[in-house]
Chains A and B, each alone.
Chain A
Amino acid sequence: MSRVLPRPTVVAPAAHRRALLGARRAGLLHRVLVWALLLAGSVLFLLPFLWMVSTSLKASDAVFSVPPRWLPSSFQWRNYVDGWTILPFTTFLRNSLIVTFANVLGNLVSCTLVAYGFARLRARGKNVLFLLLLATLMIPREVTIVPRFLLFSEVGLVNTLWPLILPAWFGYPFFIFLLRQFFMTIPRDLDDAARMDGASHLRILWDVILPLSRPALATVAIFSFIGNWTNLLDPLIYLRSTDLYTLALGLNLFRGQNFTQFNMLMAVSIITLVPVLAVFFLAQRTFIRGVTLTGMGGR
C-alpha cells in the first residue's frame, strides 16, 4: 500500500512547503518504523535456521547445554560426515533422486497433456469433468490412503518405489489447473496458424504452447520437486526395506535410533534441505509467481 498523498496544487506556497515537509518527516518516521518491524520479524524467522546450523556444528556433549549457546566451543564439521555414514544415507539419496525425478517428469508430461485438453479442445462433458477436477482439490489426502494402499498391495507393489511414482503419471489436479490457466492466456491465433499448416494437436502443444509456457512448466517442476523431496507420508506407508528408504524416511529412522545425537541429526537434516534451498534461491521469481498463480502456498 504505497501512500498516496493528494497533490497539493492550489495550496499557498508557504503552507504547501510546510505540508510537504511534514509529510516527508512522517514518511521518514513511517519508513523507520516499518524497517524496524521488518528487521525484528526477520530475526525471528531466521533464528530457527541459525539454531539448526549452530547445533549441527556442536560436539555431542554440548548439544544439551543450559542455557543454550549460539556459538559452538569448537566447530565439529565431522558431524556432517559421521551423520551421513551412520546410516546408508547415500542409498537413501539415490532413492529420493529416483522418486523425485520420476515424479517431476511424470507430472510435467501428464499434466501438460491433460491441461491442453481442458484449455483448447471442445467436447461434451468437459465442464463436468473440470468441475470434478476442481472438487478433488478439496479432498484431503488421508481420506483415500487406505483404499490406495489396498490397491497397491493387491497388485504386489507394496515395498517398492512404484506407489510413490505411478500416481504422478496420471495427472495432478493442482498442476493441471495451473497449466490450464496458463495455456488459456496464450492467443489462439497461434494454434490456428499452425493448424492451417496441418499440424496435429500434439504438434501444436509441442511447437506452439510449450515454448511459450516455460514459466508455468518451471513452476510445476519446482513444486513437484519440493513436494516429493520432502514427502514423508507415502514412504512411511509403502516402504519396508531400509534399502528402499528415501531421505525423509531415513531421517525419521535416524531420529528414532539416535535421538540423543542431535548434532548429527541436524547436520543430515541440513544436507537434505540444501537441494530445496538451492532450487528456491535459483528460481525464486518463478516460484513466487507460481504460488500466486495457483494460490498454493508451499506446504
Chain B
Amino acid sequence: MALVSTAARGHLRIRPKVKVQLGKQARREELAFYGFVSLWIVGFVLFDAGPIVASFLISLTDWAMLGDPSWVGGANYERMLDDATFFKALRNTIYYGVGSVGLGVVTSFLLALLLNQPVRGIALFRTIFYLPAVVSGIAVAILWTNILHPDYGLLNAALARVGIDGPGWLKSPDWSMPGLILMSLWGVGGAMVIYLAGLQSVPQHLYEAAALDGAGTWRKFWDVTVPMMSPVIFYNIVVGFITSLQSFVLILIMTDGGPANSTLVLGLYLYRHAFRFFDLGYASAIAWVLLVVIMAITAVQFLAARFWVYYEADHAR
C-alpha cells in the first residue's frame, strides 16, 4: 500500500545532482551498496530491461524460432491493424479485466466489511474466505472446469434447483467469459485481507467525531470509511488489473481461448504465436502493445485517482 500511495503522489523524489567529492568513508559505503544490489542489477538487465528492449527489436523482425530473423520494420504492427482476432483478444482482455476487477473489488470490500464485525468465530470465517486465494493454479482450473460443466456441473445443478436453466458456461461463446470471471471471484480473499487491514487502521476517533455530529451508520460509511479506504481501493484496482492479465495461463488450460475465441486474451494470443506458431516477431509486437495497453490503463487510473482517492497527508499539508 505504501508503495502505490507514494508512487501516486510522485513523492519518490530523486535528489538533484550535486557534484561533491565523497569522503573515503562515503565512497566505501557506495561501493558496498553496489556490491549488495549487484545481484538484482544483473537480474534486472538479464530478465527485465534486456528482454523488454529485445522484444521491441524482435517485434521489428520476421523470425520463425528456428530460422534467422529478418528485418521488416513496422510490418508486424501493420499486420496487427488488420488482424480481427487481435482486436477480439484486446476486447476480451479488457472485458475480463474490467469484469473480474470490478466485481472483485466490490465483493472483496463487502466481505471485508462483514469480516470486520465483532462477532463470534470471526477468525474461522476469515480463514474460510481467504483459503481459495491460496490454492490458485491448475488444480483450481480443473476443479472449476468441472463445476462449470453445462451438464454435470455443480453450478448448473444448483441453478436447476431454483428453476433456472443454466447456460453452457465454458462451452458457450456468450457465457464463457462470465464463467471465468465467476471463478476469479472465488479468489477475492487476497484483496479482502488487504481491505481488512485497511479498515482496522481507520482511526476510531473519526467515527466518534462523526457520531457526535449525528451521523448514522450509513453516513459514517460514506463519509469516513470510503474516503479513508480509497487509497487501498485504488491500490487493489491497479494491481488487480495487472494480475488479471496473468490469468491467461488458467484460461489456456480451461478453454484455450475458445469457444469461438470468446476467451482469447492478449497473453494467450501472444503465447500462441510464440510457442505454437513460432512467430517470434509477431508475438513480440503483441507483447509491446500489451505493455503499452497496461501502461495506458495504469496512467489513466493514476490520473483519475486525483478525483476520488483521498490522501490524508495531502490535506494535512
A229 smallest CB distance to B (angstroms): 8
Residues in B with CB closer than 8 Å to A252 are: 138, 253
Q: Let me know if A117 is at the binding interface, CB within 8 A.
A: yes
Query: Does any Cβ of B come within 8 Å of A193's Cβ?
Result: no
Chain B 146-171 interface 0/1 with A at a Cβ cutoff of 8 Å (1 = within):
11000111100100100000000000
Query: With A1-B113, A46-B128 as given contacts, are A68 and B29 in contact (CB-CB < 8 Å)?
Result: no
Q: Chain B nearest CB: distance from A108 CB in Å?
A: 12
B64 contacts the other chain (CB 8 A): no
In the complex, chain A residues whose CB is within 8 Å of the CB of B46: 151, 170
Docked pose: A233 CA to B221 CA in angstroms? 42
Q: How large is the interface on A (under 10, 10 to 19, 20 to 34, 35 or more residues)?
A: 35 or more
Interface residues as binary, B184-195 with A (CB distance below 8 Å gives 1, 0 otherwise) = 001101111110
Is A13 engaged at the interface, CB distance under 8 Å to the other chain? no
Are A167 and B43 CB-contacts (below 8 A) given A121-B32, A131-B14, A139-B291? yes
CB–CB A45/B129 < 8 A: yes
Q: Are A143 and B119 in contact (CB under 8 A)?
A: no
**In the complex the two chains form, what is the Cα distance from A138 to B51 in whole Å?**
15
B interface residues with partner A (beta carbon < 8 Å): 1-4, 7, 12-15, 26, 29-30, 32-37, 39-44, 46-52, 54-55, 58, 111, 113-120, 122, 125-139, 142-144, 146-147, 151-154, 157, 160, 186-187, 189-194, 196-197, 199, 202, 204, 207-208, 211-212, 217, 220-221, 225, 235-236, 239, 242-243, 245-249, 253, 266-267, 270-271, 274-275, 280, 283-284, 287-288, 290-291, 294-295, 298
Answer whether residue A89 sits at the interface, using C-beta atoms and an 8 A cutoff. no
* A291-B267 contact given A121-B36, A122-B29, A298-B136, CB 8 Å threshold: no
Q: How far is the CA of A127 from the CA of B15 in the complex (A)?
A: 8
Q: In the assembled complex, how far is the CB of residue A205 from the closest CB belonging to chain B, in whole angstroms?
A: 9
Q: Are the C-beta atoms of A65 and B152 separated by less than 8 Å?
A: yes
State whether the Cβ of A132 lies closer than 8 Å to any Cβ in chain B.
yes
Contact A34:B52 (CB < 8 A) given known A52-B143, A137-B3, A230-B137: no
Contacting pair B146 A114 (CB below 8 A): no
User: In whole Å, how far is A167's beta carbon from the nearest beta carbon of chain B?
Assistant: 5
Bound form: Cα–Cα A133–B1 in Å: 16
B146 contacts A4, C-beta separation under 8 Å: no
A248-B55 contact in complex given A37-B114, A38-B115, A42-B129, C-beta closer than 8 Å: no
Task: List 6 additional contacts besides A144-B48, A292-B197; criterion CB under 8 Å.
Answer: A110-B43, A117-B33, A138-B242, A169-B39, A277-B135, A292-B194
Q: Does A144 lie within 8 Å of B51, measured CB to CB?
A: yes
Tell me the complex Cα distance, A33–B41, Å: 54
Main secondary structure of the interface of B (DSSP, over half): helix
Determine whether A55 belongs to the interface, using a CB cutoff of 8 Å to chain B. Answer: yes
Kindly state the separation between the CA atoms of A38 and B235 in the bound complex, as whole angstroms.
25
Residues of A whose CB lies within 8 Å of any CB of B are: 1-6, 30-31, 34-35, 37-38, 41-42, 45-49, 51-52, 55, 63-68, 110, 113-114, 116-118, 121-124, 126-134, 136-151, 167, 169-171, 173, 176-177, 181, 201, 226, 229-233, 236-237, 248, 251-252, 255, 262, 265-266, 269-270, 272-273, 276-277, 280, 284, 287-288, 291-292, 295-299
Establish whether residues B138 and A230, one from each chain, have CB atoms under 8 Å apart when the complex forms: yes
| Number of inter-chain CB pairs below 8 Å | 306
**Chain B residues whose C-beta falls within 8 Å of the C-beta of A131 in the assembled complex:** 12, 14
Complexed CA–CA distance, A257 and B122 (Å): 43
Q: Are B33 and A41 in contact (CB under 8 A)?
A: no
What residue in chain A is nearest B59 (Cβ atoms)? A146
Q: How far is the CB of A197 from chain B (nearest CB, A)?
A: 17
Distance, CA A230 to CA B134, complexed state (A):
10
Chain B residue contacts of A124, Cβ below 8 A? 30
Q: List 12 A-B contacts (CB under 8 A).
A: A38-B115, A38-B119, A48-B147, A66-B152, A122-B29, A134-B12, A144-B51, A181-B2, A232-B137, A266-B143, A297-B133, A299-B190
Determine the chain B residues whose CB is within 8 A of the CB of A226 once the complex forms. Answer: 134
Given contacts A2-B118, A146-B287, A226-B134, contact A134 B249 (CB under 8 A): no
Separation of A215 and B189 alpha carbons in the complex (Å): 21
Determine which of A130, A136, A272 lies in contact with B139 in the assembled complex, contact meaning CB atoms within 8 Å: A272
Least CB distance, B183 to chain A, in whole angstroms:
9
Report the minimal beta-carbon distance from B179 to chain A, rounded to whole angstroms.
13
A51-B143 in contact (CB<8A): yes
Q: Contacts A170-B47, A295-B235, A297-B193 hold; do A140 and B294 have CB atoms under 8 A apart?
A: yes
Query: Is the CB–CB distance between A133 and B40 below 8 Å?
Result: yes
* Distance (whole angstroms) from the CB of B205 to the closest CB of chain A: 9
Q: Which residue of A lies closest to B2 (CB)?
A: A181
A146 touches B283 (CB 8 A): yes
A136 close to B48 (CB less than 8 A):
yes
State whether B154 touches A51 (Cβ < 8 A).
Answer: yes
Knowing A45-B128, A295-B3 touch, does A143 contact B217 (C-beta < 8 A)? no
Identify the closest chain A residue to B15 (Cβ). A127
B211 neighbours in A (Cβ, 8 Å): 4-6
Residues of chain B with a CB closer than 8 A to A272's CB: 139
Top 10 nearest A-B pairs by Cβ distance?
A297-B190, A170-B43, A117-B36, A230-B137, A298-B133, A171-B40, A147-B51, A298-B190, A123-B33, A269-B139
Q: Which of B36, B119, B146, B291 contacts A113 (CB 8 A)?
A: B36
Please, which residues of chain B bring their CB within 8 A of the CB of A266?
Answer: 142-143, 146
A53-B196 Cα distance, complex, nearest whole Å: 30
Minimum C-beta distance from A271 to chain B (A): 9
**Closest chain B residue to A47 by CB distance?**
B154
Q: Which residue of chain A has the shortest Cβ distance to B235 in the bound complex?
A: A295
Q: In the complex, how many angstroms separate the beta carbon of B9 from the nearest chain A beta carbon?
A: 13
Least Cβ distance of A23 to chain B in Å? 12
